[in-house]
Structure 1
Amino acid sequence: MPETPSAARRSERARAAILTATADLIRELPYAKLSIESIASRAGVGKQTIYRWWPSKGAVVLDAMLERYSSPEGLVLPDTGDIRADLRLLLRGAVAELTDPDSEAFLRAMYIEIQQDPEIGRYYRERLLLPQRAALAARLAAGVEAGQVRADLDTEVALDLLLGPIQSRWSLGLDGLTEAYADAVLDAALAHLAP
């Protein structure tokens, strides 16, 4: 039986409250202390309401992150005709996001969850990582067509050269994740990518 309009509105309000509560709590608590109970309490719903839509804490956190940080049209990289400028904007944006306390809290939580829950890992890759890599691959392909990137480009290696060092530095908690570091990564990658 389909939900009545008022039940649908209540469901959407509850869902929004859960995602908002999750986003607030992820910034306030260490991830290990975040629980379905704390999310339910903050959202003003019962635990069973959360479990009706999500199988685990990680699934709620991932949806709250996607709700906050993804756009309906997906990731579209700029194509100004200058591959260096476009990639600089991308890499500096990645550094800014990884060092922003709000987004970093979500990303650290996901880093934990994808190691422990293969289903969350699959969903995270499908909804976030693979679309990001596809957008960057499309921009690199445009660079090949424009003669700004080598014609024999191995796209997977190029993606890893551009994204890997920043991701590695962040995941290890190393200092120096700055715009200058992003620029150095870009210079090193472009030395390989140039025609």
Structure 2
Amino acid sequence: MALPRTGPVRSEPARIAILEATAALFAEVGYDHLTIEGIAARAGVGKQTIYRWWGSKGPLVAECLLEGRLLPGRLALPDTGDVRADMAAWLTTVFRVMEAEQRLVLSLIAAAAEHPEVGAGLRDSLTGSASISGRLDAAIGTTANLQPGALTGELAEALIGAVVLRALSREPAGPADAERLLDAVLGAPTG
């Protein structure tokens, strides 16, 4: 999902080359050593092209993440038919990624705070119908707080808010933290 842009029209082949270069370099050197200079060289574009479309590496990395180019498949919400187990597995994975890629997560939060379109894109990606709130909608009636009329969008936001707060505090997740968070937001499992 490309974020909306204003200003000069972008060349789609250049945009794709930049995103692919960013993802490849991220995989090779990690977020801390990722540079606009390196991305420009790998993509075969000038640094000014990147800076014209993305003000810094944070929004560029956010767009890569939103388009599924970073951490491919690692942040996907599983769908085994058991929404609670799927959410617990997803949260556990998210916590692990946050610990391994702490600078990336903090950069995404900073990019979202600085660029409203990045924040909107991340929010839609995480709480949209194809993600958490959509899965909660499908599970209505299966969990204490998922009764007809449940505010699944708000429940999804509560889960994401707790994840963001943990990232900001840099507090490592314990082995049962995902389950405790789900109990707090969705209610304790029944039966």
Pick the TM interval, shorter chain. 0.5 to 0.7
Question: C-alpha root-mean-square deviation of aligned residues, in Å?
Answer: 3.7
* Residue in 2 that maps onto 1:48: 48
> Residues of 1 paired with 2:15 and 2:151: CA distance?
47
Does residue 178 (structure 1) correspond to residue 177 (structure 2)? The answer is no
The aligned residue for residue 63 of structure 2 is 63
Alignment of 1:90-101 (within 5 A): 90-101=90-101
State the TM-score, normalized to the length of structure 1: 0.65
Matched, 1:78 2:79: yes
Instruction: Say whether residues 1:140 and 2:136 are aligned partners.
Output: yes
Q: Percent identity?
A: 26
TM-score normalised by L of structure 2: 0.66
CA distance in 1 between counterparts of 2:148 and 2:14 reads 55
- Structure 2 spans left out of the alignment, 5+ residues: 1-11
1:106 pairs with 76, 99, 104, which one?
104
Aligned in 2, Cα 1:47/1:109: closer, same or farther, shift over 3 Å?
same
Note if contact 1:95-1:179 (Cα within 8 Å) is conserved in structure 2. Answer: no
SS in 1 for 2:185: helix
Match of 2:154 among 114, 132, 157: 157
**Separation in structure 2 between the aligned mates of residue 190 and residue 97 of structure 1, nearest angstrom:** 23
Q: Determine if the alignment matches structure 1 residue 189 to structure 2 residue 185.
A: yes
- CA–CA distance in 1 between the matches of 2:60 and 2:78? 28
Unaligned runs of 5+ in 1: 1-7
How many pairs align? Answer: 175
1:102-147 CA deviation, whole Å, 9 max, x = no partner?
Answer: xx33221111122222233334334x3343x652222222222557
- What is the letter of the counterpart of residue 78 of structure 1? D
From the CA coordinates, give the structure whose radius of gyration is larger.
1
- Does the 8 A contact of 2:127 with 2:153 survive in 1? no
